Structure 1
Amino acid sequence: MTLDNAEATEPRRDDSLYLSRDGSLYLSGNYAPVLEEVTAYDLSVDGKIPAELSGRLIRVGPNPIAPVDDPVNHNWLTGAGMLHGVRLRDGKAEWYRNRFVRGTDVQMALGEPAPPGPTRGYDAANNTHVLKIGKGTYALTEAGCLPMLLSYDLMTEARSDFGGTMGDAFTAHPRVDPLTGETHAITYTPSQEKVQYQVVTTEGRVRRIVDVPLPGHVMVHDMCLTQKYAVILDMPVTFSQLAAMSGDPLPLRWTPDHGCRVGLLPREGTAEDVVWCELPGTPFVFHTGNAYDAADGTVVMDVVRYESMYYTNSLSAFEDEARLYRWTADPATGKVTEQLLDDHAQEFPRYDDRVTGQDYRYSYTVTSDDVPKGFTGLLKYDVKRGTSERVDYGHGMLTMETVFVPSAGSSAEDDGWLMAYVHDATTERCDVVIRHAQDLANPVATIHLPTRVPFGFHGSWIAD
């Protein structure tokens, strides 16, 4: 292995340390930021990387570039984005790179010119997802930040509004229809009492925008997509103007009086065509799995469900543990029924993207017995049989979101590779672990990275 910056490594830490001396969880242990941008070549590998894997496994997460003014009240969701990428080809791990997304905070801290492109909204925290949209790869977040177009080497090339066609904002959780290649998004800005449904073509231009009014300033983090509908999640987490005026960097509040419902918007319909379906109680969902139209006219969606969110304050996103549920929305009755699928604490549901919006079988999440300290295992759930299979990564190993990559030449839903960045608390380094989805117990390859990868949010396999 060779390094462009051989000194850019982190000292070993005590893996029992989860709170820093100032009491901030999200600035200590593997939540703490890394400040060096590293390039490493010819990475060390245990096992054998499947030769068919040619592309990059990229993820992103919050990584403050400057000292935090108020560490005790630092919110994990607000840090500048840092990208981490591993390039695989011909059975080798050719390189690892980490790069800050060049939003305003990073550009000013580094003394660099701003990236080209339009300027509107807040662009300091593209820290939530990396996704291919049209022909480009973008670092994404929600609530008004413009997407950031990335180079192959993970440098920020430009701010993007999709050639001037984008609506008021974009989202970190669009869905790509595998049958058309178009990208579907439900977007919002905190200042408006509405969402926008946007459809991006394979050429990277928005061809359709629909404004859908909402009764409040609602955070709409994710969505579902079926062949008939774009599904809007109207959940009881709203933006507080009072909290924003008091200086809260993330003024989100639990608002159970808002209620909880999903909106079924026909993909070529208008706001007047939305059918709203009420849920029992007031649960909350950050992340959805797959969804599809059932033969009886209902809409089935699998979600990771919380009882509440931000109940105490906006710092405590994981006070309650989430579990895998199935929601069935009936447009005939305007009601949603709930079914608990799996009672393990879990998050970050992924599936084979080739079946987005279609009836499917397998969900892959990460699981833990102590969520604030990190996710320790991988959970595969069979929605047809109602069974699950769990594997733990081992002592001191804390996993991040798992990505499914189909096997070359296979159309079988579960025939593919599960890939994840995994923090090793015993070495303060990170591995990329590759398993076959049909053999969770035996990883086929472990790629050793030269540095630590802080806990973050989402990522993608971008095939060459």
Structure 2
Amino acid sequence: MIASKVESANHSALPRVTREVLVSAPPVHGALPPELDGTFLTIGPNPLQRPHDEHLFAGDGMVHGVRLRGGRAEWYRNRWLRTDRAARILGELPAPGPRHGPNDNANGNIVRHAGRTLALGDGGPRPLQIDAALDTVARIDFDGTLRGGFAAHPQHDPLTGELHAVTMSCEPPYATYLVIDVHGRVRRSVPVPLKRPVMMHAFSLTEHYAIIYDLPVVFSPAAAAAGSRIPYAWNDGHGARLGLLPRDGGPDDILWVELSPCFVFHPVNAYESGRHIVLDVISHPRVFDRDPHRPGETPPALVRWTVDTAGGTVVEEQLSGLVQEAPVIDDRVRGTRHRYVFATALDPSGRELLGGPALLRHDLATGRTDTHELPPGCTTGEAVFVPREPRAPEGDGWLLSMVTDGRTGHGELTVLDTADFTGRPAAAVPLPVPVPHGFHAAWVDGD
């Protein structure tokens, strides 16, 4: 059964979904592992109306989900987040709760923390809590402990369970390092002084450091004056550097290390090795330069930066020459030495920015890369890794991703068994509706 809730007759140059739907008991091809008990989620921009500046990142946030339990797919549904703008277009009340700043479009990521599923966004919006049916519950400020905005790409410490984040602002000091405890309250807030506001989608976390990416995509007053909802552009004069902030330190303790100009949307992982910090990242040589509305002007690659904390120097090594993005690891080893990196192979032409025709598995111990090729005309976005069981070896489990058939635009949730990574999927859940590639995907255990 497909139940339609709203319809939009407006058209956009961006691929988009025009209605909210519920698909009950979608079919399953193959055998879904019965151990997969939870919801696969994706989130991304999906404009309700044609945006003023057509910026790739500016569309209204939409969440898609597929609930799996007992070897069955129980439902697929999608929902727009009830931001002020979306609620106004839909003729509904916006999400309750305190907002911060001009932007509440949390279309960038999904995390689960302290019993809440949170939609997050770049540019400082406060998190939007969503329920198990993907409906927007409220904006949250972590029980009154979040003074400003939040971040799109926080990280859990797998040892403590705390959530760490670096938030951005257009007001000095321009960045803040936050630690949210296991009860969902901010317990630590450290200002990070920057030269000017920058786009910082993510940061890295090691045992002793939070690592800041101060890179040359900066706030553009001209773009803001022109009405852009994402007013950032490449700036050759800004430079590039890493900030090594001790997790128990303050602003004066940050060690700044210079880099060659580049941009990182997505670090892979970071860990400490003696006096060195090793960072694996997806590095873009240049973004938001020739076209400020789309980032895909230079091919991103998997590289390793080894930082000497004593000498303040960086050595760069390319780990793979394949064009790729959306890196994923086994989160149980986050912040420590990792062996496997999963990623989405992109079309080198740059036509598709959020998806590609294959999934990759890099074995950093052997230097081998395995490729799972999709059927012709199909592309996939970011995958999610789920361990086979809690004590399974690193990288042993399932890789879930949403595949789009280019002929129909319809989505299909694909489940790969990493024991047969290059073979046929263990299972697939075809859907009779479009599911465009979003920014990020997540797996939420249980109800």
Is TM more than 0.5 here?
yes
For the Cα contact (< 8 Å) 1:277–1:330, is it kept in 2? no
Residue 408 of structure 2 corresponds to 427
Instruction: Establish whether residue 237 from structure 1 lines up as the match of residue 217 from structure 2.
Output: yes
Instruction: Establish whether residue 47 from structure 1 lines up as the match of residue 26 from structure 2.
Output: no
For the Cα contact (< 8 Å) 1:276–1:331, is it kept in 2? no
Which shows bigger deviation, 343-352 or 163-172? 163-172
Q: Distance in 2 between matches of 1:372 and 1:194?
A: 33
Q: SS where residue 4 of structure 1 aligns?
A: strand
Q: Distance in 1 between matches of 2:227 and 2:405?
A: 36
Q: SS where residue 180 of structure 1 aligns?
A: coil
- Alpha carbons of structure 1 residues 283 and 68: separation in structure 2 relative to 1, 3 Å: closer
Q: Tell me how far 1:9 sits from its aligned partner.
A: 12
Q: How does 1:166-181 map to 2 (within 5 A)?
A: 166-181=146-161
Match of 2:263 among 284, 304, 307: 284
Match of 1:223 among 195, 203, 211: 203
Q: Tell me how far 1:390 sits from its aligned partner.
A: 1.2
Q: Distance in 1 between matches of 2:248 and 2:392?
A: 29
Q: Tell me how far 1:7 sits from its aligned partner.
A: 11
Q: How does 1:49-64 map to 2 (within 5 A)?
A: 49-64=32-47
Q: SS where residue 237 of structure 2 aligns?
A: helix
For the Cα contact (< 8 Å) 2:56–2:294, is it kept in 1? no
Residue 433 of structure 2 corresponds to 451
- Letter of the aligned partner of 1:351 in structure 2? I
Instruction: Establish whether residue 403 from structure 1 lines up as the match of residue 381 from structure 2.
Output: no
Residue 111 of structure 2 corresponds to 131
Residue 335 of structure 1 corresponds to 313
- Letter of the aligned partner of 2:364 in structure 1? V
Q: SS where residue 272 of structure 1 aligns?
A: helix
For the Cα contact (< 8 Å) 1:434–1:444, is it kept in 2? yes
- Which is strand-richer, 1 or 2? 2
- Letter of the aligned partner of 2:323 in structure 1? A
* Total equivalences in the alignment: 441
For the Cα contact (< 8 Å) 2:5–2:19, is it kept in 1? no
Match of 1:199 among 179, 182, 194: 179
- Alpha carbons of structure 1 residues 91 and 212: separation in structure 2 relative to 1, 3 Å: same
- Alpha carbons of structure 1 residues 157 and 416: separation in structure 2 relative to 1, 3 Å: same
Q: Distance in 2 between matches of 1:336 and 1:167?
A: 35
Residue 14 of structure 1 corresponds to none
- Letter of the aligned partner of 2:295 in structure 1? A
Instruction: Establish whether residue 68 from structure 1 lines up as the match of residue 51 from structure 2.
Output: yes
Q: Tell me how far 1:198 sits from its aligned partner.
A: 0.2
For the Cα contact (< 8 Å) 1:351–1:364, is it kept in 2? yes
- Letter of the aligned partner of 2:379 in structure 1? L
Q: Distance in 2 between matches of 1:272 and 1:307?
A: 30
Q: SS where residue 38 of structure 1 aligns?
A: strand
For the Cα contact (< 8 Å) 1:190–1:219, is it kept in 2? no
Instruction: Establish whether residue 269 from structure 1 lines up as the match of residue 252 from structure 2.
Output: no
For the Cα contact (< 8 Å) 2:8–2:48, is it kept in 1? no
Q: SS where residue 354 of structure 1 aligns?
A: helix
Q: SS where residue 223 of structure 2 aligns?
A: helix
Q: Distance in 2 between matches of 1:430 and 1:356?
A: 30
1:373-417 Cα deviation digits (max 9, x unpaired): 341110111112222111211111010101101112433111110
Q: Distance in 2 between matches of 1:117 and 1:401?
A: 30
Q: SS where residue 419 of structure 2 aligns?
A: coil
Residue 209 of structure 1 corresponds to 189
Q: Tell me how far 1:144 sits from its aligned partner.
A: 1.8
Q: How does 1:63-102 map to 2 (within 5 A)?
A: 63-69=46-52, 73-102=53-82
For the Cα contact (< 8 Å) 2:233–2:288, is it kept in 1? yes
Q: Distance in 2 between matches of 1:337 and 1:215?
A: 24
Q: Tell me how far 1:430 sits from its aligned partner.
A: 0.5
Q: Distance in 2 between matches of 1:348 and 1:209?
A: 28
Unaligned runs of 5+ in 2: none
Q: Tell me how far 1:246 sits from its aligned partner.
A: 2.6
Q: Distance in 2 between matches of 1:439 and 1:61?
A: 30
Which shows bigger deviation, 232-241 or 249-258? 249-258
For the Cα contact (< 8 Å) 2:100–2:148, is it kept in 1? no
1:1-54 Cα deviation digits (max 9, x unpaired): x222399899xxxxxxxxxxx9xxxx44xx421121101111111101000000
Q: SS where residue 303 of structure 1 aligns?
A: strand
Q: How does 1:282-431 map to 2 (within 5 A)?
A: 282-294=261-273, 296-369=274-347, 370-373=349-352, 374-431=355-412
Residue 5 of structure 1 corresponds to 4
Q: Distance in 2 between matches of 1:9 and 1:342?
A: 43
Q: Distance in 1 between matches of 2:170 and 2:300?
A: 25
- Alpha carbons of structure 1 residues 429 and 7: separation in structure 2 relative to 1, 3 Å: farther
Q: SS where residue 438 of structure 1 aligns?
A: helix
